[in-house]
């Protein structure tokens, strides 16, 4: 979360005092008819009350009563390759940033670039998920929420993530193979069908659909923008509570 700096507190105090002091000067002048007395009273009041306001704010910052911590959450987007996971996750990330909560975006492409020798076998993928679970858990210890998008085709690896992190929300981005192939600007589905790519989820490797996803998005029925709005509403209702 964000803390209020001394500079911001002082600026708030000054802006308020401009309004309040102007009111005081007008009232004193109306009662006594002396502009010099009204201005003097206004200046004295300004200096004293700005200092008192700053001290009052600092005291309340130390008081925990009435504060509600936003628990860190993990949005886990899963689905077939080119189902629309990253597109929707990017939109959700952009929308959630408006609420000024500590947030990180994690995508399979970026992580693969960091660990280029990571394989695609079931064992390799499961080990990969464990590493990601540790990363997300570390971020959560620092009150940072995450928006993660990975094919994560196996139930055991998704279960491992759920057990490792807090407030895990599985978003199943559902799309059939033909829809994914139509979005295949890289030609990876064609390569997989020709046998040039091994362990490709949905073609020559299994994709196990989530049984207990908190949110299911059918990209054949809703637009990415509509999907993002649905997911953000869920997060607002359960965690941000605005």
What is the reported pLDDT for 230?
A: 97
Confidence of residue 95 (pLDDT cuts 50, 70, 90): very high
Count Cβ atoms below 10 Å from residue 213 Cβ, excluding itself: 18
What is the reported pLDDT for 78?
A: 98
For residues 36 and 112, the answer to whether their CB atoms sit within 8 Å is no
**Max Cα–Cα distance, the chain, nearest Å:** 94
For residues 106 and 132, the answer to whether their CB atoms sit within 8 Å is yes
- Average pLDDT, integer, range 101-114: 89
Q: Which residues pair with 215 in a beta bridge?
A: 171
For residues 203 and 110, the answer to whether their CB atoms sit within 8 Å is no
Confidence of residue 67 (pLDDT cuts 50, 70, 90): low
More confident residue, 208 or 3: 208
Q: How far is the C-alpha of 53 from the C-alpha of 10, rounded, in Å?
A: 8
Q: What pTM value is reported for the model?
A: 0.74
Q: Which residues pair with 205 in a beta bridge?
A: 201
Q: What is the DSSP letter of 172?
A: E
DSSP output for 1-39: -PPPPHHHHHHHHHHHHHHHHHHHHHHHHHHH--HHHHH
**74-240 is classed CATH 3.90.870.10:** no
Compute and round to an integer the Cα radius of gyration of the chain: 27
For residues 228 and 91, the answer to whether their CB atoms sit within 8 Å is yes
Tokens 């080119």 belong to 82
Give catalytic status of residue 152 as yes or no.
yes
Confidence of residue 68 (pLDDT cuts 50, 70, 90): low
| 202 pLDDT more than 70 | yes
| 1 pLDDT more than 60 | no
Q: What is the DSSP letter of 201?
A: B
More confident residue, 155 or 55: 155
So where are the chain's domains? 6-62, 74-240
Tokens 């080990």 belong to 127
The residue annotated as part of the active site, out of 152, 157, 179, 201, is: 152
């Amino acid at each position: 979360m964000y803390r209020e700096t001394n500079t911001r507190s002082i600026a708030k105090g000054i802006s308020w005092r401009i309004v309040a002091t102007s009111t005081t000067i007008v009232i004193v002048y109306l009662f006594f008819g002396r502009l010099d007395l009204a201005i003097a009273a206004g200046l004295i009041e300004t200096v004293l009350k700005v200092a008192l306001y700053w001290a009052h704010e600092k005291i309340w910052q130390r008081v925990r009563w009435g504060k509600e911590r936003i628990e860190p959450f993990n949005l886990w987007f899963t689905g077939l390759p080119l189902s629309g996971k990253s597109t929707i996750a990017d939109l959700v990330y952009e929308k959630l940033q408006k609420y000024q909560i500590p947030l990180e975006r994690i995508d399979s492409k970026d992580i693969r670039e960091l660990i280029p020798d990571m394989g695609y076998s079931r064992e390799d993928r499961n080990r990969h998920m464990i590493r990601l679970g540790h990363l997300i858990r570390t971020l959560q210890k620092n009150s940072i929420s995450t928006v993660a998008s990975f094919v994560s085709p196996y139930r055991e690896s998704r279960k491992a993530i759920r057990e490792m992190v807090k407030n895990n929300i599985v978003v199943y981005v559902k799309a059939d193979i033909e829809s994914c192939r139509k979005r295949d600007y890289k030609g990876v589905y064609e390569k997989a069908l020709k046998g040039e790519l091994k362990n490709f989820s949905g073609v020559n490797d299994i994709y196990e659909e989530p049984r207990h996803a908190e949110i299911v998005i059918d990209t054949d029925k809703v637009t990415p923008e509509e999907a993002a709005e649905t997911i953000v509403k869920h997060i607002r209702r359960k965690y941000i509570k605005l």
